[in-house]
Amino acid sequence: MQASETLKYADRSFQPVVERCEGCERIIEENSTKYCRTYLDPAAKWRQGMCNFATHAKPELKLVKVRVNPLKASKRASRRKK
């Protein structure tokens, strides 16, 4: 870590990480306090849902099965063949 980076964290412009940040690869520990090296206020990133910088959390994908009307599907398929 460079001296200029250390100064930024010690300057207190960065806020300490929140509990939901634990396990992220972007955490840096300075003077026994953990900071996010990417974002100034980690709590703000978690207010609207998941933090987009989080390396430890993956978004949940919800797959919804769509029911297709077989009659309409066959008509669409026959139009494409012409």
Question: Could you give the CA distance from residue 65 to residue 61 in angstroms, rounded to a whole number?
Answer: 13
The answer to whether residue 12 scores a pLDDT higher than 80 is: no
Percent of the chain with pLDDT over 70: 83
Query: Taking the complete model, does pTM exceed 0.85, yes or no?
Result: no
**Secondary structure (3-state) at 4:** helix
28 bridge partner residues = 35
Provide DSSP, the chain.
--HHHHHHHHTT-SPBPPGGGTT-TTEEEETTEEEESS-S-HHHHHHTSS-TT-SS--------PPP--HHHHHHHHHHHH-
Tokens in use for 1? 């870590």
Q: What is the mean pLDDT of residues 7-24?
A: 77
